[in-house]
């Protein structure tokens, strides 16, 4: 079972337990470039999907690739969150 954190996001130990395909919701504004080369910014509450786990070692350590969006009228972005981030900035989508 995953225990919620007091920070607006998840810890490494929590994220490592999430299977690929898990639906998440952003807990902070997140930006990135979409496939069409346009920089996009998604607000808190935007949903995404965990697509891949990585173990890079060193400072970067454990990482997760998340597809964020798309939202109506906008393209999805792909973002990588790792141990250099202060927290993994998302939570589980319930239901």
Quickly state the pLDDT bin for 14 (edges 50, 70, 90): very high
Q: What is the pLDDT of residue 7?
A: 56
Predicted structure pTM score: 0.84
Classify residue 20 by its DSSP letter: T
d(CA 72, CA 84): 31
Quickly state the pLDDT bin for 72 (edges 50, 70, 90): confident
Domain residue spans of the chain: 12-92
Q: What is the pLDDT of residue 95?
A: 62
> In this structure, how many other beta carbons lie within 10 angstroms of the beta carbon of residue 30?
21
d(CA 12, CA 88): 7
With a cut of 60, say whether residue 5 has pLDDT above it: no
**DSSP 3-state percent helix, strand, coil across the chain (nearest 5):** 5, 40, 55
């Amino acid at each position: 079972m995953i225990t919620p954190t007091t920070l607006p996001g998840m810890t490494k130990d929590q994220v490592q337990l999430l299977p690929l395909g898990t639906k998440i919701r952003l807990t902070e504004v997140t930006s990135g470039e979409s496939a069409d080369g346009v920089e996009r910014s998604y607000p808190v509450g935007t949903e995404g999907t965990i697509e891949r786990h990585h173990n890079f070692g060193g400072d970067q350590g454990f990482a997760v690739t998340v597809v964020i969006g798309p939202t109506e009228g906008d393209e999805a972005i792909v973002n990588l969150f790792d141990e250099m981030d202060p927290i993994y900035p998302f939570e589980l989508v319930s239901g």
